[in-house]
Homo-oligomer: A and B are copies of this chain.
Amino acid sequence: MQQLSMVDIDNIAHGAGILGTGGGGDPYIGRMLLAEEYRRGSVATLMDPDEVADDDLVVASAFMGAPSVVMERIPSGDEAVEALRVLERHLGRTVTAIVPMECGGLNSMIPLLVAAKTGIPIVDADGMGRAFPELQMETFGVYGVSGSPIAICDDRGHSVLVDTGADNLSMERHARGVAIRMGGVAYIAEYPMSGSDLKRTAIPRTLTLARSLGKAVTQAKSSGRSPLQAVIDSCTTSIYGHARLLLEGKVVDVARATSGGFVRGTAEIRAFDDSRSVELSFQNEHLIAKEGDTVLAIVPDLISVLDTETGLAINTESLRFGQRVQVIGIATPSIMRTPEALDVFGPSAFGVEEPWVPLENILVAGAVHRDA
């Protein structure tokens, strides 16, 4: 167990931006809410997966909905706590540990906020290893944990509990409908599981990965080194194992629409000398990076867009014409690459036709591999 400082929170927020792979919402809103909570004397306690007891009751915490709506309708932080309490009352049991649904984007911060507000420890792990747009896209579910019952709360004190048994796709469908009717964003607690199930199904130590990513970028900047290389190095030494630059250039086109509760669109990044052009397609998060017909990286591997100067991630909401960026690919851990996992969050789960190819196996003449 360790108490996280506000410096830790800042670093996690920066790193979660990168792991958000374009989505998961802007972590900085959550960081602001945590700063306020820390000023009141609250502290979030991080728990290593090895410290989780087999009979702990662990619940995954998150917001759901379109990140664009969260940015217009900033939460108080009590919504996600209320979701936890509603689920506790429904189960008739006390939650002993919180785990993030996803380690990327705002959803790295929401469970930390719940941890700070309630004093319940947060496990250093998550169920996505990045950000994904749908609730069934969890390693918890891939390896047999039911998302149900899920508690869904809004900022008006309304709550909804959905129980679809082991059918996590139906759980997502109903919860999505509720979130849309709640105004496009809602706060959830779900995947109630034992500590032993958590340890079996979660992607371990992703909060500390986010923290080391954020810390590496900050330190590189202050010492005049390349933030990009720091990011690649941090990923390479983690269970993710591999990261590479796909293209450096500027944003020349962005098409984006909010529909069905998601932000969908494409962005084109062109090299400064016009020699290359990469198209990114996203559904909240980036799904595929293509150079012409050539796939450079594809979901569930991560695609992130970094500001060239600062090394900070730019999410799909914030992409703008003219931004100077580095597009990077990050490989996923092996627990996210099994056939069962690819069924749930591989390319076909998003309607992407191209088959999945491990990032590290893609050999592209133009793609610069800087971790050598």
**A residues whose Cβ falls under 8 Å from a Cβ of B:** 86, 90, 92, 156-165, 167, 170, 173-174, 177-178, 180-182
Contacts and interface: CB of A to CB of B under 8 A. Distances in A.
Contact of A161 (B157, B160, B165, B181): B160
A363 to B, nearest CB: 45
Contact of A160 (B92, B156, B160, B182): B160
Contacts of A90: 90, 161
In terms of DSSP, what is the predominant structure of the interface of chain A? mixed
A160 B162 contact: yes
Nearest to A171: B158
Q: What number of copies of this chain does the assembly contain?
A: 2
Contacts of A180: 177
A194 B104 CA distance: 47
B181 A160 contact: no
B92 A163 contact: no
20 contacts: A86-B163, A158-B164, A158-B165, A158-B170, A158-B174, A159-B162, A160-B160, A160-B161, A160-B162, A160-B174, A160-B178, A161-B161, A161-B163, A173-B181, A174-B178, A174-B181, A174-B182, A177-B177, A177-B180, A178-B178
Contacts of A173: 181
Given A90-B90, A177-B181, A181-B177, A163 B170 contact: no
A157 B165 contact: yes
Contacts of A174: 158, 160, 178, 181-182
Given A159-B162, A160-B174, A177-B178, 9 more contacts: A86-B163, A92-B92, A158-B162, A158-B163, A158-B164, A160-B178, A173-B181, A174-B178, A174-B181
Nearest to A161: B161
Contact of A163 (B159, B163, B181, B182): B159
A161 B153 CA distance: 12
A294 to B, nearest CB: 39
A22 B158 CA distance: 33
A158 B169 CA distance: 12
Q: Most chain-B Cβ atoms within 10 A of its Cβ — which of A86, A90, A158, A173?
A: A158
Contacts of A157: 164-165
B178 A156 contact: no
A303 B277 CA distance: 67
A186 B177 CA distance: 15
Nearest to A173: B181
Instruction: Point out which of A92, A167, A181 has the most chain B C-beta atoms below 10 A from its C-beta.
Output: A181
Top 9 A-B residue pairs of the complex, sorted by shortest distance between their CB atoms: A161-B161, A158-B164, A159-B163, A177-B181, A177-B177, A160-B162, A174-B181, A158-B170, A157-B165
A182 B92 CA distance: 27
A124 to B, nearest CB: 32
A167 B177 contact: no
A182 B158 CA distance: 21
Query: Which of A86, A160, A182 counts the most chain B CB atoms within 10 A?
Result: A160
